[in-house]
Amino acid sequence: MKILVAYETAHGSTVGVAEKIAETLREQGAEVDVARCRELKTLGDYDAFIIGAPVWGGNWLKPAQEFLRRFGQKLAEHPVAYFHTSGAAGIDDQRETVVRGMLNVLPKYAPAITPVSVGAFGGVIDFSNYNIAMRLIMKAVVGSQGGPTTGRHDMRDWEEISAWTAEVHEAFEEGPAG
């Protein structure tokens, strides 16, 4: 099975998740390419797609939104899974809230896609990457959810990402969604 892992990233942590997903898929025998959404001009010849981006302000980054708009109809002809990274997704009791929120948002970009799975993973919160305004917003939002409010925190759980990926691969092998 040939799979494309398409991602977008703000500060680099989502690319790490995309690469871990690809590594896990390769271990299971899949042929995998990894590419940034903004760099993809065509979809190529893939059997399935895993698409992910960080959640900022309750939404994916613009290049990931545009990727879904541009290729949504073609993607819907294949099995698709989504993944999200965010500080909130790294907090156990917030993960389902992130997934539900994105399940409400993503259909406006690609309504024809019914994902076989949606993963939500902690990202990296690094307050040194943010300007003063963003630092204040992040402190308020992440702090209100019980997360860290200073420093750098890698909230990615590599075992969780691998386990989710194995489940997605199994679903892909079973056939297209919907």
| Segments making up each domain of the chain, as ranges | 2-124+154-174
Q: What is the pLDDT of residues 117-153, one digit of tens each?
A: 999 888 777 666 766 777 666 666 666 666 666 656 6
**Residue positions counted in the chain:** 178
Domain at 2-124+154-174: CATH architecture: 3-Layer(aba) Sandwich (3.40)
Dist. CA 110–CA 67, nearest whole Å: 9
CB neighbour class for 154 (10 Å; exposed up to 12, middle 13-18, buried from 19)? middle
Helix (H, G, I), strand (E, B) or coil at 123: coil
CA of residue 91 relative to chain centroid, distance: 16
**Residues 18, 23, 26, CA angle at the centre, nearest 5°?**
125
Q: What is the pLDDT of residues 4-58, one digit of tens each?
A: 999 998 877 899 999 999 999 999 999 999 999 999 999 999 999 999 998 867 7
